[in-house]
Amino acid sequence: MRKQLLLIVCMITCVTAFCQNNYQKAWTALNRNDRISATRFLKEAEKDAATRGQAFITNLLLRSFNRNEAGMLHFADSVYTQMEDPYPYIYALWFNKAVAGALGVKKKPHQVAMLQKLSADRKAPVLLRTSANYVLAGNEVLSGRFAASAPYIQTIHSVRNWQLAGAFENLSGSGFYTEYDPLKYPGPDAVFKNASGNNIKWFTPAFENNDGWLQTGFSITETSAIIYAQTFVDVPEEKSVILGMGFAGNLKLWLNDELMISEPRERVTDFDAYCVKGVLKKGTNRILIQLGYTHEKYPNFTLRVLDEDGKAIDLNSTAGYKAYPKREAAARLPDLLPHFAEQYFETRLAADSANLLNYVLLTNCYLRSNKTERARQIINRALVKAPDNSLLRSIYINVLTAEGNSALVETENERLMRFDSSSEKAMVLSMQQLNKNQKYTELEHKRNEYIQLYGENEVTDGQYILLKAKDEKLEEIITIAENMYRRYPDNPDLQAGIYKLRKSTGKSADSALEVYRQFFKNNYHHRVASQYLAALQDNGNKKEYRSLLEELIRKFPYVPQYSIALSEFFLLEKQYDSAEKYVKEALAIAPYADAYWKLLGDIRKQKNETAGALEAYHTALKYNANQYELINTVRKLEGRSEAYKLLPAVEEDKIISSDDYKGADKQKDGYYFLLDQRDMILYPDGGNEQYITSMIRIVNEKGIERYKEVSLSYDNNQSLLIEKAEVIKKDKRVQGDKKDGDIVFTNLEPGDVVFIRYRLRTFADGHFAKDITDRYFFSGNVYCYASRYTLLAPPDAKIGFRFSKDSIPPQISRAEDFKKYSWEVLHSLPEKDEPLMPGLADVANVLHVSTIAGWNNIVSWYADVVNYNDVEQEVTDVYNTLFPAGSKPESQFEKARRIYNYIENNIHYSSVAFRQSGYVPQKPSVTLNTQLGDCKDLSRLFVALCHKAEIAANMVLIDTRNNGTKSMLLPAMDFNHCIAKAVLDNKEYFIELTDNNLPFAALPNSLNGALMLDIPRTPALSASGVTFLHTPNRSRDKTFRYIEIRPSGSDLAYSNKVVRTGHLASAIRADFRHSDEEKRLKDMEESLAGGYSTGLKLKDLKFSGLEDLTDSVTYQFSYLVNDQVSEVGPMSAFKINYHDVVATMDKFPAEKRTQPVEYWNYENTDAYETRVTVFAPAGMKFSASPASVSLTFKDLEYSLQFQLISPAKLQVTRKFTNNRQQFYAAEDYDGLRSFFEKIVKAEQKFIGYQK
């Protein structure tokens, strides 16, 4: 290995020293996107032995960029003759059309030749030969020659015979660090809880796919999961081996319970992408794999056991449990063996960082295993050297695409169209955009321009069809399509379109189906097979449909979907025994697939095997409780009523006739409720549905306006069915117009009753799928004749309920197999509406219902899913940028502030609450790569960077203050925000991250006193539940104002200097930070003018602290306001405008108070300090200064001090402080009102002066 590396360095040095001319000129030309000159230079460079290989590869990349790989049909010969070591280049260029081409596509002859040459090359790395054999095997299948694939597959020697267990919870990839029970319990009797809390066990699929990769999705159908696979390998003697893993997802590998490989990032790799040395013990060895995935369509893995020379060993493995020697003590995770191609280009790049080809090929190597974080790092280094090089930027787009970073892909595409519009990629993008914008004349021109530069191909054919479709020229469309079909008969993407085209143009069904028959003579493709099956069904060709399915099952026995399709066919044909046979074959592959169990139940039901049908149906419901129609089917089979029939009936006429409400408030609101009824059903397996019934009496026009249009709200995991929406008039009923969740009632009149009944079904999954939480208001803003809440629950369900105010005992009874809880209140009077009163959640009588056992259940679950221990490369990179080696020491507070400022200046907040995945944050790497995140994503990123800085930090779930203090009296997940908490220099701080204008450690008013649930890094240290967010260490919200007033005739000249701190600084930044000077002046003048009834002219305005997230913003301005001085005899007088209002009486009417005063909703500032200096006009002096005032009420303190500095200079100092108390009791109202009344009176005093 050392000799090889020295040889590489010598080669690079030779290139750098002697052969720079044409090769370097080519790259210089590429850097300015002069690809014609680059091609010429590369042609010359290929003539020079020293640069021939590098120029050859660069030319291939350039041809690919220009969609011209067709000119590189002899890569197989050229790469061997032109490159000293061709293998790393073959690996890096694997998916290039000149090499192996795209995965899953039938190979061209030159690609087959390349692969066959590589397969036979004994000098090639085993990994490459294995990959070649795998692709050749796949090509035989894609060519319809199934038997011919076997010899290639037999060379792969992947470990077979696996047991599986799963699926386990993996929300947003959070399950990787969770130690689920299959790790500890390998035996056949072990029982585990899956993601939905159901019992599962190890199982052995009846069939495994035989191409070297185990496609776990055939057996475990969940799209986001952690799954386990184990096998037991027997060896006669202890043997040192290499374990070679390939996988799609993230992965852990254990050998005899010793962790050997751990990759938390989701990858998509080739064979042997992750290799590690290990020792197989004599006798039996347990190999265990944990595979996790969140968005992988085809989760899979392959394990090959290699000898020390890298050759695959064919081992004896069995799925059945055997005793094995477990690890004696925890060992250090072994180092991964270097990947040959990655190591090769890493070495080249280290030796020659000027050669941009090294960056491209190393990036490609990383992308082969979806190591996007490393790929991005490398290509970004190249772009620093050549930022305008479109070839490099195309590689960058590949990286962004692999990341799933659609926003940046779009940005890069727009950049390419703007700065390199004649490039092939830019022209394709431009045509797509023109078509989208329906600019067809420009599209035709662009297409012709493209053909002149790059020739005709599938792209131009497709655009041509679109143009003809616009003109509705059907005959030309048919001609173009048929020509495309003749040119590309093996293209799987064309078959369905040609079939539909022929059928729609009057061809016979048999003639149209001939498209598929011809395709399958020399081809095979899974998607086309599915299309063919659908076409056969569509045409009623039962015999051929059945025959094709039977053939597919023979060829792909491990694909249960084919067995299910055939089972459904036989069910329709009433051949029930055959139907049951095939569904059982599918269940032998996927024993926990609820849909398969339901199908088995349907079959047995048709056979009148009621007991067997119920057994299958109950199993289906166990694995998926959200099958509501099936629930009703089961209840009927068991002789029980459908559950909704057990709910209390609504006697509409009786309720209407009982209405005698005379309350005066009904005129004010315009309506009131005759009935507000909610009925909840919790089913034994966990599904739940609710029925909401409302009867509303319309009183006047206000009520008509309120209910002429109704929008019913529901969650995105719920379905809505409006069962009834009508207007009950004296002599008839009129149906409302319904669409989705909207209802329109026409011709509403006073006296009408609006009747609405709708059903909500919840489709939950995951940890709390079987739980319910609910709130029901037994009082509200309007009168209600009857308020009812009913819950049907399994008898053994532990139902927690609690009232917020007046406890009402439930009526408990049995309703068939349910326990029935009922609450009812008659004549519920409206809550009195008072200024600054708490919200309904705090003042109404609210029933809280929850089946979640305790707050710690939520805390522990959430701490697991946020992955506090996950440290990603992107986080490390940002940390190293923020805190480079050798930087001066900082306090924890300063470090956290630096982290905070980075996030606020670089990451954009998404205003869609909890947009990615409910409560689960996306990985910090995703937030960094996309530069976008919501509250939980930003908080998670902050916490990750703090942990990297060795700062104790965690996330905190929040229910903002506007939702009240009693919104969650029982454990629930009704939080609407997320922040971070950090302990900095032994002080606790709460950090809000969604406001890009907020100073560090400041908190918006909506968080002060909000409900919070702390999610500590170690859940065992969690508090008892929700608490209120109060912290002495937040940045204080203060306003300091310095005013100078100079009377001039009847006008006043004001000069202001204002300093705002805390969240008050954020408001100023939000208003002015991104405005130009003209708009700032306009907005400020309009704001000031609102405080006067006379004319005002702003003279100047300047800010400091707008751009940086400093603790405060300072701004200064001066203005002249007209007609503010009054003449009172010989004396002139005016009132001071203090600008900041600390007291107003509009929220404190003179009336008896019944509710507390929510002071937090009135005051958002800790302290005001206003210093006013008044200068009398020349020759004038002040009369006696007004008397000073000092007032207090509880924690409120106010003072207004007047001091005559000189006869012509008056100093006024106003101070107001408070402790930001959340509320004052109703009995404090009179004292609070009197306090504010005195302040208002004090600030009305006139300042007088005379000669």
SS3 of 252-270: EEEECCEEEEEEEEEEECC
Q: Report d(CA 407, CA 413) in Å as an integer.
A: 10
Q: What are the E-state strand segments in 122-238?
A: 163-168, 192-193, 199-200, 214-215, 225-235
Nearest to 1250 by CA among 1138, 1148, 1131, 1102: 1131
Q: Tell how far CA 411 is from the center of its chain.
A: 20
Q: Report d(CA 563, CA 603) in Å as an integer.
A: 14
Nearest to 978 by CA among 961, 995, 962, 957: 957
Q: Which residues belong to CATH 2.60.40.3140 in the chain?
A: 643-851
Q: Report d(CA 1137, CA 1131) in Å as an integer.
A: 19
Looking at CATH, the fold of the domain delimited by 643-851 is given as Immunoglobulin-like (2.60.40)
Paired sense of beta strands 1189-1193 and 1196-1206, if any: antiparallel
Q: Report d(CA 1157, CA 1159) in Å as an integer.
A: 6
pLDDT averaged per 10 residues, the chain (length 1251): 42 40 96 97 94 94 88 84 93 95 93 96 96 98 97 96 96 89 97 94 96 97 96 97 98 98 96 98 98 92 96 94 87 95 98 97 98 96 98 97 92 96 95 92 93 90 84 83 90 93 88 95 96 96 98 98 98 98 98 98 98 98 96 97 96 94 89 98 96 98 97 94 97 95 96 98 92 97 97 97 97 98 97 95 97 94 83 92 94 98 94 59 90 94 97 97 96 96 98 97 96 88 80 95 97 98 97 96 97 96 96 98 94 96 95 95 97 96 92 97 96 97 94 97 95 87
SS3 567: helix
Looking at CATH, the fold of the domain delimited by 1125-1251 is given as Jelly Rolls (2.60.120)
Whole-model pTM above 0.75? yes
Quote the pLDDT of residue 320.
93
Contacts of residue 545, Cβ cutoff 8 Å, sequence gap at least 6: 533, 536, 537, 569
Q: What are the E-state strand segments in 890-1002?
A: 908-909, 932-933, 953-959, 977-984, 987-991
Q: Report d(CA 1017, CA 1141) in Å as an integer.
A: 43
Q: Tell how far CA 982 is from the center of its chain.
A: 24
Token pair 């109703």 is found at: 1226
Give the tokens for residue 695: 């009867």
Quote the pLDDT of residue 18.
40
Q: Which residues belong to CATH 2.60.120.1130 in the chain?
A: 1125-1251
SS3 1083: helix
State the alpha helices, DSSP H only, in 768-891.
Answer: 840-843, 855-865, 873-882
Q: Report d(CA 935, CA 811) in Å as an integer.
A: 42
Amino acid at 674: L
Contacts of residue 720, Cβ cutoff 8 Å, sequence gap at least 6: 712, 714, 740, 741, 758, 759, 760
Q: What is each CA distance from 498 to 479, 491, 1134, in whole angstroms?
A: 11, 11, 87
Longest dimension (CA), the chain: 118
Q: Tell how far CA 432 is from the center of its chain.
A: 28
Q: Tell how far CA 222 is from the center of its chain.
A: 18
612: left (phi over 0), alpha (psi -120 to 50) or beta: alpha
Q: Report d(CA 1143, CA 1159) in Å as an integer.
A: 12
Q: Report d(CA 1124, CA 1101) in Å as an integer.
A: 22
Q: Report d(CA 937, CA 917) in Å as an integer.
A: 10
Give the tokens for residue 670: 């315009």
State the alpha helices, DSSP H only, in 742-891.
Answer: 840-843, 855-865, 873-882
Token pair 């690996």 is found at: 91
Give the tokens for residue 981: 């908490």
Give the tokens for residue 100: 């192996």
Quote the pLDDT of residue 912.
58
Contacts of residue 592, Cβ cutoff 8 Å, sequence gap at least 6: 194, 200, 203, 220, 623
Identify the CATH number of the domain defined by range 161-337. 2.60.120
The CA radius of gyration of the chain, in Å to the nearest whole number, is 37
Q: What are the E-state strand segments in 914-971?
A: 932-933, 953-959
Q: Report d(CA 263, CA 67) in Å as an integer.
A: 35
Give me the sheet containing 1011-1015, strands edge to edge.
987-991, 977-984, 953-959, 1011-1015, 1027-1028
Q: Report d(CA 650, CA 398) in Å as an integer.
A: 61
Looking at CATH, the fold of the domain delimited by 1036-1121 is given as Alpha-Beta Plaits (3.30.70)
Q: For residue 826, with 0-12 CB atoms within 10 Å meaning exposed, 13-18 middle and 19 or more buried, which class applies? A: exposed
Sign of CA dihedral 277, 280, 286, 287: positive
Give the tokens for residue 916: 């990615």
Q: Which residues belong to CATH 3.10.620.30 in the chain?
A: 866-1015
SS3 547: helix
Amino acid at 1039: T
1204: enclosing H helix or E strand = strand 1196-1206
Backbone angles phi, psi at 851, to 5 degrees: -105, 0
- C-beta neighbour count of 794 within 10 angstroms: 15
Contacts of residue 423, Cβ cutoff 8 Å, sequence gap at least 6: 33, 35, 65, 390, 416
Q: Which long-range contacts (CB under 8 A, 24 or more apart) does 553-557 make?
A: 553/582, 553/585, 555/146, 556/209, 557/206, 557/207
Identify the CATH number of the domain defined by range 866-1015. 3.10.620.30
Q: Which residues belong to CATH 3.30.70 in the chain?
A: 1036-1121
Token pair 């962004």 is found at: 400
Contacts of residue 280, Cβ cutoff 8 Å, sequence gap at least 6: 233, 235, 238, 239, 241, 255, 305
